């Protein structure tokens, strides 16, 4: 493996300031919200946007994205304006230093999930975790689930030690495609570092759009795990507005309303059986996510006139 140190640069003045701030004790928690894998409802992406918008951030680490990104697989967007290229959405993968509402420092790693050199990237993150005495690394994303938006959003938490996870999740043993975030948690555990993940259960018919309630739930869980004050309550107006918009769509479509009722029945049955041997309630024949999404698209199309307004 090539030297992981050649994969990133550190703002040394800020690094020295951070080390002086933490002294010989634990350093800041590291939160990571990388774009590129499953993130239903944009739970991770919205969480990252909230943190960047809400708290002042300073760039601590910049990864060499040219070594990590497959540009032909994920072509960055550009803006063409009449006769010139006016803008380029430059991809990045960075770690910022921020302070929460009470002045406690934390690190936020955000940007694009690496396409290549995963092991080298994980080794680079390990170096940063050890250099800045990070006590806990936390990942956030959303996963699509057959649950209704009218019930509290569930959360699956996982970690490198059982003590880091509050309660067992809904899943047993399953095989899933890997992500950098999951692999990073796995590797950090093998290297003796604490790491956890927060996966919010997002209704599968809302998985493709930004769903602020998912980010709000994710932030609340991160606050519980880290003790950070991340102002999750400031997302409440956006979360309420999103739920109201979905409810209007449900009311306007009998077919969608029937789907939601079926999901409610299944959810309530599952809730009643959680303490029993089987965690699954009575099976319900439900439309697929594509079928539900198509119904919502038909509904939205009916809301526009012939001129698209």
pLDDT in tens, 60-109: 999 999 999 999 999 999 999 999 999 999 999 999 999 999 999 999 99
Q: Which CATH superfamily is domain 4-233 in?
A: PAC-like subunit (3.40.50.10900)
Q: What is the pLDDT of residue 268?
A: 87
Q: At what angle do helices 236-252 and 254-273 cross, to 10 degrees?
A: 120
Task: Indicate if the alpha-carbon torsion angle 218, 224, 228, 232 is positive or negative.
Answer: positive
The mean pLDDT value of the chain amounts to 88
Distance CA 71, CA 89 (A): 12
The pLDDT of residue 23: 78
Report how far residue 99's alpha carbon sits from residue 21's, in angstroms, rounded to the nearest whole number.
Answer: 12
Using CA atoms, how far apart are residues 109 and 126, in angstroms rounded to an integer?
13
pLDDT in tens, 119-169: 999 999 999 999 999 999 999 999 999 899 999 999 999 999 999 987 666
pLDDT at residue 309 in the model: 37
% of the chain beyond a pLDDT of 70: 87
The tokens for 302 are 């009916």
pLDDT exceeds 80 at position 286 = no
CA atoms within 13 A on the CB side of 89: 10
**φ, ψ for residue 161, nearest 5 deg:** -140, 145
Find out whether 139 and 185 touch, Cβ atoms under 8 Å.
Answer: yes
Give the confidence band of 279 by pLDDT, cuts at 50, 70, 90: very low
* Sign of CA pseudo-dihedral 99, 101, 103, 105: negative
Distances (CA, A) of 166 to 137, 157, 162, 172, 224: 16, 8, 8, 16, 10
- CA angle, residues 73, 78, 81, in degrees to nearest 5: 155
Residue 49: per-residue pLDDT: 97
Residue 303 has pLDDT above 80, yes or no: no
47-57 pLDDT, tens digit per residue, is 999 999 999 99
The maximal CA–CA distance of the chain, rounded, in angstroms, is 66
- Residues forming a β-bridge with 139: 32, 197
Joined together, the tokens standing for residue 27 give 């350093």
| Tokens of residue 112, six digits | 């694009």
Q: How far from the centroid of its chain's Cα atoms is residue 118's Cα?
A: 19
Strand extents, DSSP E, the chain: 8-10, 29-35, 57-63, 78-81, 84-88, 93-99, 105-112, 137-145, 155-159, 195-203
């Amino acid at each position: 493996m090539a030297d992981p140190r050649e994969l990133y640069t550190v703002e040394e003045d800020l690094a020295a300031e951070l080390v002086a701030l933490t002294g010989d004790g634990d350093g800041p928690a590291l939160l990571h919200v990388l774009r590129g894998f499953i993130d239903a409802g944009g739970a991770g992406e919205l969480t990252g946007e909230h943190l960047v918008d809400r708290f002042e951030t300073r760039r601590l680490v910049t990864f060499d994205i040219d070594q990590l990104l497959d540009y032909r697989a994920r072509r960055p967007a550009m803006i063409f304006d009449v006769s010139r290229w006016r803008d380029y959405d430059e991809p990045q993968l960075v770690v910022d230093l921020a302070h929460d509402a009470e002045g406690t420092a934390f690190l936020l790693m955000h940007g694009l999930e690496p396409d290549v050199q995963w092991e080298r990237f994980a080794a680079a993150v390990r170096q940063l975790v050890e250099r800045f005495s990070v006590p806990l690394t936390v990942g956030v994303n959303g996963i699509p689930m057959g649950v209704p938006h009218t019930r509290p959003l569930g959360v699956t938490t996982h970690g490198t030690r059982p003590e880091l996870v509050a309660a067992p999740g809904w899943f047993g043993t399953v095989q899933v495609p890997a992500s950098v975030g999951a692999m990073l948690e796995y590797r950090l555990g093998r290297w003796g570092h604490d790491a956890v993940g927060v996966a919010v259960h997002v209704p599968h018919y809302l998985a493709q759009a930004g769903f602020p309630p998912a980010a709000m739930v994710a932030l609340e869980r991160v606050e519980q795990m880290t003790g950070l004050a991340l102002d999750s309550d400031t997302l409440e107006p956006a979360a309420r507005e999103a739920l109201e918009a979905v409810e209007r769509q449900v009311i306007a479509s009998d077919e969608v309303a029937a789907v939601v009722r079926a999901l409610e029945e299944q959810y309530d049955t599952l809730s009643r059986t959680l303490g029993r041997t089987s965690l699954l309630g009575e099976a319900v024949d439900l439309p697929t996510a594509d079928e539900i999404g198509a119904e919502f698209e038909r509904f939205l199309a009916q809301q526009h006139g012939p001129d698209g307004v």
